[in-house]
Structure 1
Amino acid sequence: TEDAIEKALKKPGDININLVNAQQARRVLDRLVGYKLSPLLWKKIQFGLSAGRVQSVALRLIVEREIERDNFKPQDYFLIEGAFDYNKSLFNASLHSVSGEKLVKKVKNKEGKPEFKFLLTNEKQAKDILEEIKKQEYYIKSVTKKEKNRSPFPPFTTSLLQQAASNMFGFSAKRTMQAAQKLYEKGLITYHRTDSFNLSAKFLKESQTFINKQFGKEYYKKTFFKKKAKGAQEAHEAIRPTSLKKLPSSLGAVTKDEQLIYELVFVRSIATQMAPIKLLSTSVDISSKDNKFLFRANGQQVLFEGWAKAYTLLKTVKYNPLSQDTLLPDLKENTNIDLKDAEMTKKTTQPPARYSEASLIKTLEKYGIGRPSTYAPTISTLISRKYVLKESKYLVPTDLGRVVTQLLLDNFADIIDYDFTAKIEKDLDEIALGKKEWPKVVDTFYKPFEKRIKSSEETLSRRDYKVLGEAPKDIKCPDCGGPMLLKLGRNGKFYTCAKFPECKGMRGLDGKTEK
């Protein structure tokens, strides 16, 4: 911003050689990984492939999520909902527990990961319980009312802006950064490659004046945010408008993408300095007279809009962070209530969702992998190399992406290990702080890495990673009549004779003979 430039000119500082060294180390490490691993992929899989310190870890995340989905076994379960009448006011409540045992319980599996355990997984059992429920009499066991505050979201960092634009507009990280770059060049927003939540004192003062005038003093609340992501460097401010005088409704000559991104940045920045949303939450437990069946209903009412009011400034897109009120009748504890009807619904567990660009960026940041400037180009590279396809908003690994990941996992598991990659980022941060010497960090990484590269060049066979499996038994070699293998080629999958190179018979996936 103009203010920051004037300040820097008045108090020029010395070049921080530690930061220079950290950048030098990052550049050398990235090139060592890319320049050494990429040619190995050319020799062992196909020409034109690439690997990278951050790129290959991101690909691993996508591939491993797909494997989780492949191995997922769906399970049917049943939920029961009751329609209750209280003094002629109707509302629904869900069956919460039977004889004290919850219908849906969160547990940890063998790997220590959270998963859900369901009580009703048998249709006959669920129907029997439904019939028993309908015969019972009910009373209101408890009514709990609680006021809650919802604090505003922090200001935008690069990753948060990319996630928000992806979720709201379906923008790719690259598209978001292109629009942000133009806004930055036009002097409308601050620097857009940042991992900081910091806002300048000048902006904080300007936002106070703006909020008090636009919404009223009760909507203002000064707030400071602290970065929680691993390895945050916080060299710049958060992304914000350079001036609150430039309202979203009066930007002038900008593209639609630029308008949308500016609106997001403007509203989010204002909202950070506004009062929390105040909510009244109501939870009602309804029990059968014998206390065997417990139903639960939840209601919510907005008492004060708080920072949600900032979103009324959006011009191009409509978004309300507040969900609609769900009001319950004025219920009294220990009074009777009528069950009018109950219904059973069959559900099926779903596999873990594929990564979208937004969720991938969020995960990379959580692990401390990469920097604000690397997220968009990393995803673009995965797509351009055909390691990943974009289906709707989701990232789906190709066979090529799976094969590349498998080769790297088999031979360079530590290089694409999540914790190792985060540790490298930590080492780079310590170089920037003067706590470590950059040649030693590079040397510690490079010596064992170089040995493995040489070993892999000698021992790895193209066949190990080109062969995807055996062909169906009815697919026979057109030349010798023998069994065939499914292989990955430059243009996709095809069948080749299991006796290759002695026999060179081939078929396409459609079963036709290849020439």
Structure 2
Amino acid sequence: MQLVIVESPAKAKTIEKYLGPGYKVLASYGHIRDLPVKDGSVRPDEDFAMDWEMYGDKASRVKAITDAAKSADRLILATDPDREGEAISWHVRELLKKRKVLPKEVERVTFNAITKQTVTDAMKRPRELDQDLIDAYLARRALDYLFGFTLSPVLWRKLPGAKSAGRVQSVALRLIVQREREIELFCAQEYWSVIARLEQHGTEFAARLVKFDGQKLDKLTLGDEGSALKAKAVVEAGTFRVEEVETKPTKRNPYPPFTTSTLQQEAARKLGFSASHTMRVAQSLYEAGAITYMRTDGVQMDPSAISAARKAISDRYDGHYLPEKPRHYETKA
């Protein structure tokens, strides 16, 4: 029997269906271990040695994984293809090794979409755990711990009622404070604009007043209501004609595929979603096989996905809608 570990139960059910008999897919339900909330969990003087303890609410999950590992010939770690996913796989391996139930064959597979083709192809290309990603996780977790445990007590003493300091939240708070101070120092200046709704041959359009009393109007020229009303009266009493109509073709390139940040920005702008709600919805779509992995800074697309999209366009529409060659996007460093 081959034991496959993923993060969520929904994903486990789908992947087990794809892999068929001979595979047992279990979910870790996210991280299974963390640093104990006590002094000394990270020891910089001992080459940053770290102590770990299992989450209390993960006992049943870990027991199910441990029991399955006892009879497994091969362990396949198939958690998410990012730093945290690599860390979860590392924790599972280390915990099973500590309990002396680690199968002899341990491999890591990753995939960016949960479709049958993607999953089965990934199973044919296993690899070792990525130590660089694991080290990045360990560094991040050690910094979180050392930063919080060092500064939070100081914060509590200086600002009663404060919650905690953090590696990210404290820096973000400083940026917010700096921006707020800039806003408070800003001197507002009144200005007015005159916009007219005009019509030419049945077509309405908006026009802005750019010249008045022989003077070119800048943004701040009409600096009070009186001068703006005077300009408005002149416009309302005037007669205007369209001197020239210029038409030209325009071309707009499609936006690149979403990254995590652009996905959150668009969801907030168009749907009013919070970042956390956006990621929950995206996680559900990913687990259902509807989208690729949503935690990414990359905009590159799988060539097989591009080919499938081009075929779908060709089958459903005429060739006018299909570019001669696909677009390729690159992530800017």
TM-score (norm 1): 0.37
CA distance in 1, matches of 2:174, 2:227: 42
2:260–2:297 contact (8 Å) kept in structure 1 = yes
Using the TM superposition, give the Cα deviation of residue 197 of structure 1 relative to its aligned residue in structure 2, in angstroms: 0.9
**CA distance change for structure 1 residues 12 and 77 in 2, over 3 Å: closer, same or farther?**
same
Tell me which of 240, 254, 257 is aligned to 1:152.
Answer: 254
Structure with the larger RCO, 1 or 2 (CA within 8 Å, 6+ apart): 1
CA distance in 1, matches of 2:225, 2:183: 25
Tell me which of 161, 167, 192 is aligned to 1:53.
Answer: 167
> For 2:285, what is the secondary structure of its paired residue?
helix
2:194–2:231 contact (8 Å) kept in structure 1 = no
CA distance in 2, matches of 1:139, 1:77: 27
Tell me which of 181, 198, 206 is aligned to 2:283.
Answer: 181
Kindly provide the amino acid, as one letter, of the partner of residue 154 in structure 2.
Answer: L
1:247-286 deviation per Cα after TM superposition (whole angstroms, max 9, x unaligned): xxxxxxxxxxxxxxxxxxxxxxxxxxxxxxxxxxxxxxxx
Kindly provide the amino acid, as one letter, of the partner of residue 225 in structure 1.
Answer: Y
CA distance in 2, matches of 1:73, 1:36: 39
Using the TM superposition, give the Cα deviation of residue 94 of structure 1 relative to its aligned residue in structure 2, in angstroms: 1.5
Tell me which of 78, 95, 101 is aligned to 2:216.
Answer: 101
Runs of 5+ in structure 2 lacking a partner? Answer: 1-112
1:157–1:196 contact (8 Å) kept in structure 2 = yes
Map 1:346-385; keep pairs closer than 5 Å. Answer: none
CA distance in 1, matches of 2:118, 2:201: 64
Answering whether residue 283 of structure 2 is matched by residue 168 of structure 1, we say no
Identify the structure with the greater strand proportion: 1
Using the TM superposition, give the Cα deviation of residue 130 of structure 1 relative to its aligned residue in structure 2, in angstroms: 4.3
Identify the structure with the greater helix proportion: 2
Tell me which of 107, 130, 136 is aligned to 1:22.
Answer: 136
CA distance in 2, matches of 1:23, 1:87: 65
Runs of 5+ in structure 1 lacking a partner? Answer: 105-117, 231-515
Answering whether residue 318 of structure 2 is matched by residue 204 of structure 1, we say no
CA distance in 1, matches of 2:273, 2:204: 42
> For 1:148, what is the secondary structure of its paired residue?
coil
Answering whether residue 170 of structure 2 is matched by residue 79 of structure 1, we say no
Using the TM superposition, give the Cα deviation of residue 44 of structure 1 relative to its aligned residue in structure 2, in angstroms: 1.3
Using the TM superposition, give the Cα deviation of residue 129 of structure 1 relative to its aligned residue in structure 2, in angstroms: 4.0
What residue is the counterpart of 1:34 in the other structure?
148
Identity of aligned residues (%): 37
Answering whether residue 327 of structure 2 is matched by residue 223 of structure 1, we say yes
Structure 1 range deviating more: 171-180 or 123-132: 123-132
1:79–1:103 contact (8 Å) kept in structure 2 = no
CA distance in 2, matches of 1:85, 1:14: 69
> For 1:93, what is the secondary structure of its paired residue?
strand
Using the TM superposition, give the Cα deviation of residue 167 of structure 1 relative to its aligned residue in structure 2, in angstroms: 2.2
CA distance in 2, matches of 1:198, 1:139: 50
What residue is the counterpart of 2:157 in the other structure?
43
TM-score (norm 2): 0.55
**CA distance change for structure 1 residues 9 and 97 in 2, over 3 Å: closer, same or farther?**
same
Using the TM superposition, give the Cα deviation of residue 210 of structure 1 relative to its aligned residue in structure 2, in angstroms: 1.9
CA distance in 2, matches of 1:90, 1:6: 58
What residue is the counterpart of 1:288 in the other structure?
none
Aligned length: 216
Map 1:290-439; keep pairs closer than 5 Å. Answer: none
Kindly provide the amino acid, as one letter, of the partner of residue 78 in structure 1.
Answer: W
CA distance in 2, matches of 1:226, 1:7: 24
> For 1:155, what is the secondary structure of its paired residue?
coil
Using the TM superposition, give the Cα deviation of residue 43 of structure 1 relative to its aligned residue in structure 2, in angstroms: 1.7
Using the TM superposition, give the Cα deviation of residue 56 of structure 1 relative to its aligned residue in structure 2, in angstroms: 1.9
Using the TM superposition, give the Cα deviation of residue 139 of structure 1 relative to its aligned residue in structure 2, in angstroms: 5.1
> For 2:195, what is the secondary structure of its paired residue?
strand
2:195–2:207 contact (8 Å) kept in structure 1 = yes
**CA distance change for structure 1 residues 88 and 46 in 2, over 3 Å: closer, same or farther?**
closer
CA distance in 2, matches of 1:210, 1:190: 18
CA distance in 1, matches of 2:203, 2:161: 70
